[in-house]
Amino acid sequence: MYIVAVDEGKCEGCEECANNCPVSVFEMKAGKAVVVAGDSCEGCQTCTSVCSSGAVTLTEM
């Protein structure tokens, strides 16, 4: 399984992660990406690729 996390301090609110995750792990709340369905993550690494601020981290457990 994979653990997805967003560093709120680094997130710039571009919405790229939320718009590109194929299984809707992220939602935008108050201008920041929030992980709302981490259990659904398939480890595709799209979110870490599209995040230009390095706010998303993906860890395989």
Residue ranges binding ligand SF4 (CB under 6 A): 2, 4, 6, 11-17, 21-23, 25, 33, 41-47, 50-51, 53, 55-56, 58
Residue 29: exposed, middle, or buried by beta-carbon count in 10 A (0-12, 13-18, 19+)? exposed
Least spacing, CB of residue 38 vs ligand SF4, in Å? 7
Nearer to ligand SF4, 15 or 30 (CB): 15
Least spacing, CB of residue 5 vs ligand SF4, in Å? 10
How far apart (Å, rounded) are the C-alpha atoms in residues 41 and 53? 20
How far apart (Å, rounded) are the C-alpha atoms in residues 16 and 28? 10
